[in-house]
Amino acid sequence: MYTDICEMLGIKYPIFQGAMAWISDAELVSAVSNAGGLGVLATGHLDGEGCRAEIRKIKEKTDKPFAVNVMLLSAFVDDIVKVICEEKVPVVTTGAGSPLKYMAQFKEAGVKVIPVVPSVAMAKKFVKDGADAVIAEGTESGGHVGKTTTMALVPQVVDAVDVPVIAAGGIADGRGMAAATMLGASGFQLGTRFLVAKECTVHEKYKEKILKAKDIDTTTTGQSTGHPVRVLRNKLARAFEALEKNNASQEELDALGRGALRRAVKDGDVDNGSVMSGQIAGLVSKEQTAKEMIEEMYNEYKEIMEKASSLIR
C-alpha cells in the first residue's frame, strides 16, 4: 500500500480521513495520524483562532503528519489560511471551491496543497495552479457533492493530471481501496467509516443512524441551490424536498439549513438535523478505533491484491 503519496507526505498508509465539519476535531485527526493514515481537521465550523486551538491540540497528541481542510465557502477562510501558514501545517486539503487565491501563500509557507475536485476540468485547472495532488471525489460521498461517480471520475482524472490522485466517495473497506487502486488512485479518502470510530466525538445518535443505514438511505438536498448535499433521509431532508418541489426561494432554503449540521452532530437531533453521510453507510456496521479500522482495511487490501494476479492465466 506504500505509494507516491506516502512518500510525498511521509505517511505509512495512503489513507486520508475526510474532513467533516463539526466532527473531525483534534481527537479523530490525531487518532488517524497516529495509526499511520492522514488525519484531516475540518475548519468549516471554526474561525481563525478556533482553528489555531485545534491545530495546537493535534500537535500535542501526535508527532505524525496531519492535514487541515479549508472549506472555501467559509466566512473565515482568510483567517484560517493565515493560521495554517503560521502554524506550519504540513498539508492542506481544500473543498467547495478554487484554492487559487491562497496558492502562493501556502507555497511560501511550505504547505502541500491537495484540492478536492468533482470533475476533470477542475483537476486540470488546480494542478495548473500548483496543486501537489488532487482528491477526486465521486457523488457517492457525504456532504457537498458533484455529479460524477467515483468509478467514472477517478480514471479520467488519473489520465488528465500528472500528480497523485486520491479517490474519495463510496470507499469504506479494503475492497474499495483495491478497486480504487485498479482505477489508478495513489490513495483513498474515507469519511463515513471514520464517523463511527471510537475516537470520533460525533453524537452517539448520529453514529447509530450511520450504523443502521442501508444502501438506499441517502438523498441529496439543495439540488436547486447549486450546492447539493448528501445526507441520510429524515424529517429535515423531506422538508427540503417539499420546499424545493414548491420552488422555494434561496432565503427559505438557507433558513431551513441554518444550524442543521450542528443540531445533528452536537445535539443528536437526527430527525431535524442534517445527517451528512456517504452512500457506503450501509457497509459501515461496527464501531472500532481508528487503528483497528486502518489495520483491518490494510489486511483486507493485502489479501485481495495478492489474489488479484492469480486471475491472469
- Enumerate binding residues for ligand TUI (CB under 6 A): 21, 44, 71, 95-98, 116-118, 122, 137, 143-146, 227, 229, 261, 276
**Distances in Å between the alpha carbon of 221 and those of 96, 145, 271?**
16, 10, 15
- Output the smallest distance, CB 116 to ligand TUI, in A: 4
Half-sphere exposure of 188 (CA within 13 A, CB side): 31
Please state at what angle helix 150-160 crosses helix 120-128, rounded to 10 degrees. 30
Q: In the chain, at which residue ranges do the beta strands (DSSP E only) sit?
A: 15-17, 39-41, 66-71, 91-95, 112-117, 134-137, 143-144, 165-168, 187-190, 218-221, 229-232
Q: Which is nearer to ligand TUI, 36 or 44 (CB)?
A: 44
Q: Using alpha carbons, select from 120, 119, 131 the residue that is nearest to residue 164.
A: 131
Burial of 60 (0-12, 13-18, 19+ CB in 10 A): exposed
Between CA 292 and CA 125 the distance in angstroms is 37
- Output the smallest distance, CB 45 to ligand TUI, in A: 8
- Output the smallest distance, CB 164 to ligand TUI, in A: 17
Q: Which is nearer to ligand TUI, 258 or 302 (CB)?
A: 258
**Count of residues making up the chain:** 313
Q: Which is nearer to ligand TUI, 156 or 288 (CB)?
A: 156
Q: Which is nearer to ligand TUI, 30 or 277 (CB)?
A: 277
- Output the smallest distance, CB 10 to ligand TUI, in A: 24
Q: Which is nearer to ligand TUI, 202 or 276 (CB)?
A: 276
State the residue number with the nearest CB to ligand TUI: 143
- Output the smallest distance, CB 100 to ligand TUI, in A: 8
